[in-house]
Structure 1
Amino acid sequence: MKVINKAEFEQITKQGVVLVDFFATWCGPCKMLAPVLEELAEDMNGKMEIVKVDVDQEGDLAMKFGIMSVPTMIVFKDGEAVKQISGYQAKGQLLNILNPLL
């Protein structure tokens, strides 16, 4: 799964449905979430893109979206933030949240 920077962020989120995982390398729940998102990315291939933003590397992006804790995921639809999900989520929970947004 691709870790993106600020320069790539706008380009990637401006069209379609994109889930952005704001994470930190030192965060335990983020590490638990990573394989769930990898699996989800395979399942959602073609329906939505899933990318990651390291909050320690991209603090400006984290501040812009009010990220106070990690992991926090934001779903963008055609450039607009439409859903924020905080904390670890199991795959089934994420599917229940994401499917209505597709």
Structure 2
Amino acid sequence: MPYRPSELAADPDSDVRAAVAAHPDLPPGLRDLLAEDQDIFVRNAIAARADTPPTLREQVVATLEPDSPLAEWMLSFSRGTHTCPPAAPAPAIFTRQQAESLLAQAGL
């Protein structure tokens, strides 16, 4: 017997509710219900949906307060807000003569 979306949206497993929240055919009523879910990843899935109205998205995002940097990093990918840290500067390029001089100064 197949499950109804409303049953899955009430599943005790937050991974199931998050999958329902990300489903492309999610009815607006369930979207609005899941926007108030207790689990941060379920709410994040609602915020990441293209069909979530901007006002609702802002309300949901305001509730996304992760308890660790790792959770923040994971949440950022779903909503497309992830930014990579700046690249490390390239090391200096030395000529062979400069490199040998530096090695000699270091006693090597």
Q: Normalized against structure 2, the TM-score is what?
A: 0.26
Task: Determine which structure has more spread, i.e. the larger CA radius of gyration.
Answer: 2
Q: Normalized against structure 1, the TM-score is what?
A: 0.27
Q: Higher helix fraction: Structure 1 or Structure 2?
A: 2
Relative contact order, higher structure (CA 8 A, sep 6+):
1
Q: Higher strand fraction: Structure 1 or Structure 2?
A: 1
